Amino acid sequence: MSRYTDRVPDRRPYLAIVLVLSAIGTFLATLGSPWFGLAAVTLAPVGSKCAANLFWPLAQSTLDLKVTAAGLAVVNSLGNLGGFVSPTLFGYLEETTGSTNGGLYALSAASLLATAGVYFIRRAGGGRGGVEAAAPAPVRTASG
């Protein structure tokens, strides 16, 4: 997926597709037999791992050079915070409802919320001009 999207001008539609794939896999895990749930829950990580591979280049190409490091640090910090909040919320929903379905529904909703957020990311070409490198600054000599 990453290799394919390196050749397209806008990764956002592909990122949205794999996030929806992750949401569908998580949602389908709540239906049917345990074997069907196992097959569905293996679909979810395919979508989320592809989404991670598409997100980071998109984030780097849309941020201005002056704030790229700080912006990526904020994104990474929020991701680490999600590593605590998600299992805690999942456990709370399981304890409250007596089933893992509530937690799986919440994970599906989070993927769909991320899908909606993809379209708020400005298109590559604003901050650093997309994939192209910036032109070097002219060299000033002592005489000019």
pLDDT tens column, 112-132: 999 998 888 766 554 444 444
Instruction: For residue 98, give the 3-state DSSP assignment.
Output: coil
Q: pLDDT tens digit string along 12-31?
A: 899 999 999 999 999 999 99
Q: What is the pLDDT of residue 9?
A: 81
Q: What is the pLDDT of residue 25?
A: 93
> What CA–CA distance (Å, rounded) separates 38 from 102?
17
Q: Count CB-CB contacts under 10 A for residue 11.
A: 23
Contacts of 62 (CB under 8 A, 6+ apart): 121, 122, 123, 124, 126, 127
Q: Which of 28-42, 74-88, 122-136 has the lowest mean pLDDT?
A: 122-136
Question: Is the pLDDT score of 65 beyond 60?
Answer: yes
Work out the widest C-alpha separation in the chain, in whole angstroms.
Answer: 79
> What CA–CA distance (Å, rounded) separates 139 from 144?
10
Q: What is the pLDDT of residue 119?
A: 83
pTM above 0.85, yes or no: no
Q: Which helix or strand (DSSP H or E) is residue 114 part of?
A: helix 101-118
